[in-house]
């Protein structure tokens, strides 16, 4: 039997890629899977990426790539990061020559582009997946190198050559697809606050302003991110025993545990990354989404409005937001919970089954 090697690559697609990995392993346990991506989530900080943690635990060989990125905000790391970009192409060549893949599947992000470009020039078939409702910067530049482009949303068709595109949805973990929506809100509602895999310092600041007041009304599951976990651990220590019992803070939540937390929560408060939006839509979870205002092509706002149109989310602007205003919005979401749940009960997420559809596409190019 011929050995099949697949390279998966990306800069910020841990749970999406993991969903696809699990589908591949179910269908093709003989395939050898490799992930090429960044080892560190934040330039200049020893904060491991989700991918570097999760994939080795799931029999995917992880290879970090030495490359740079164009940062949204200027810092002391901006120039050094830009200077590393050319080295990414050399390192990609070394890794590809070592792995000798039959196909490269890219989920976008700064770490993926050199892998896609070099692989395509070497004659290796490339498939890319765009998770957002717009287009990511890396995928925009990767498109000429791709044999096929899988899209989460039809709205992305305008950014790519249509003859290469297929709209398949955004892959989500099977455990999230299986979440059964609650029929009624909990007697003591549970609010799940998350800023994505790395947390959100902005949303954390709003929660910090009103933490005791929020806990006087609700249970709180708070994904702080690792950079601010110690701060909120101290805040919890300062609370009364009654409020402490209603507050769970996490620095990091493994993907395998997200479905359990999402099923338990009554309301989600978070950013509007493609994965978060896909998960709340699939779980039909009433949500408050605060998009990052400086995301590329305003993709987070577009993602958020997709969830709003589906019926599960209210979209708030970060500008002028305070902890007190956010708490009032949570109160409103609790009052409106039953109406939201009823409105979306019969709807089906377009992302259910997307992992299988993406693997179907990969199979067409893997001989």
Report the DSSP beta bridge partners of residue 4: none
Q: Is the domain of 101 the same as that of 202?
A: no
pLDDT in tens, the chain (367 residues): 678 999 999 977 779 999 999 999 999 999 999 999 988 766 556 778 888 899 999 999 999 997 755 555 655 555 665 666 677 889 999 999 999 999 999 999 888 999 999 999 999 999 999 999 989 888 999 999 999 999 999 999 999 999 999 999 999 999 999 999 999 999 999 999 998 878 899 999 999 999 999 999 999 999 999 999 999 999 999 999 999 999 999 999 999 899 999 999 999 999 999 999 999 999 999 999 999 998 878 899 999 999 999 999 999 999 999 999 999 999 999 999 999 999 999 999 999 999 999 999 999 999 7
**219-223: strand order across its sheet:** 247-250, 219-223, 190-194, 267-270, 287-289, 313-315
Same-domain pairing of 315 and 286: yes
89 with 192, same domain: the answer is no
Are residues 187 and 330 located together in one domain of the fold? yes
Same domain, 241 and 118: no
Q: Are residues 160 and 248 both part of a single domain?
A: no
Q: Which residues contact 225 (CB under 8 A, 6 or more apart)?
A: 195, 198, 199, 200, 201, 204, 251, 252
Do 146 and 209 lie in a common domain? Answer: no
Listed in sequence order, the DSSP H helices in the chain are 14-27, 50-54, 78-83, 85-99, 113-121, 137-142, 174-177, 201-215, 229-237, 241-244, 255-264, 274-283, 299-310, 323-335, 337-344, 354-365
Number of Cβ atoms within 10 Å of the Cβ of 59: 11
Range of the domain at 87: 5-171+352-365
Residues 182 and 146 in one domain: no
Q: What is the CATH number of the domain that holds 358?
A: 3.40.50.2000
Q: Is residue 242 within 8 Å of 214, Cβ to Cβ?
A: no
Domain shared by 301 and 166, yes or no: no
Residue 70 has what pLDDT? 58
260 and 319 share one domain: yes
Q: For residue 250, what pLDDT is reported? A: 95
Confidence (pLDDT) at 88: 84
pLDDT of residue 295: 82
Q: Helix, strand, coil proportions of the chain in percent (round to 5)?
A: 45, 15, 40
163, 299: one domain: no
Model pLDDT, residue 245 = 96
Give the pairing type, strands 190-194 and 267-270: parallel
CA–CA distances in Å: residue 142 to residues 110, 152, 317? 11, 16, 31
Phi, psi for residue 106 in degrees, rounded to 5 = -110, 140
What's the pTM? 0.91
What strands, in cross-sheet order, belong to the sheet with 32-37? Answer: 61-64, 32-37, 5-10, 103-106, 126-130, 148-151, 165-167
In terms of domains, do 76 and 181 share one?
no
pLDDT at 353: 97
- Count of the separate structural domains present in the chain: 2
């Amino acid at each position: 039997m011929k050995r099949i090697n697949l390279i998966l690559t990306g800069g910020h697609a841990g749970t999406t890629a993991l969903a696809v990995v699990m589908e591949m392993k179910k269908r093709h346990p003989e395939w050898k899977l490799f992930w090429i991506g960044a080892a560190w989530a934040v330039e200049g900080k020893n904060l491991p990426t989700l991918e570097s943690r999760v994939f080795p635990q799931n029999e995917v060989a992880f290879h970090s790539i030495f490359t740079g990125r164009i940062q949204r905000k200027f810092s002391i790391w901006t120039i050094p990061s830009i200077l590393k970009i050319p080295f990414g192409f050399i390192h990609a060549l070394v890794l590809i020559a070592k792995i000798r893949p039959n196909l490269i599947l890219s989920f976008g992000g700064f770490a993926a582009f050199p892998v896609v470009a070099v692989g395509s020039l070497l004659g290796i078939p490339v498939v890319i997946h765009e998770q957002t409702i717009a287009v990511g910067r890396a995928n925009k530049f990767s498109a000429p190198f791709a044999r096929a482009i899988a899209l989460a949303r039809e709205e992305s068709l305008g950014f790519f050559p249509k003859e290469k595109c297929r709209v398949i949805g955004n892959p989500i973990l099977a455990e999230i697809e299986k979440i059964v929506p609650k029929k009624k809100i909990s007697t003591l509602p549970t609010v799940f606050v998350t800023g994505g895999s790395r947390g959100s310092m902005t949303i954390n600041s709003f929660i910090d302003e009103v933490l005791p007041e929020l806990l006087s009304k609700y249970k709180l599951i708070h994904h702080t991110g690792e950079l601010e976990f110690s701060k909120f651990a101290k805040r919890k220590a300062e609370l009364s025993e009654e409020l402490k019992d209603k507050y769970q803070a996490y620095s990091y939540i493994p993907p395998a545990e997200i479905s359990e937390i999402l099923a338990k929560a009554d309301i989600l408060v978070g950013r509007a990354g493609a994965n978060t939006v896909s998960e709340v839509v699939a779980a039909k979870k009433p949500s408050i989404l605060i998009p990052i205002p400086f995301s590329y092509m305003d993709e987070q706002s577009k993602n958020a409005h997709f969830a709003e149109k589906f019926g599960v989310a209210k979209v708030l602007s970060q500008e002028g937001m305070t902890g007190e205003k956010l708490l009032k919005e949570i109160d409103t979401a609790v009052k409106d919970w039953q109406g939201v749940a009823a409105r979306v009960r019969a709807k089906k997420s377009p992302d259910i089954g997307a992992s299988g559809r993406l693997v179907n596409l990969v199979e067409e190019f893997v001989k």
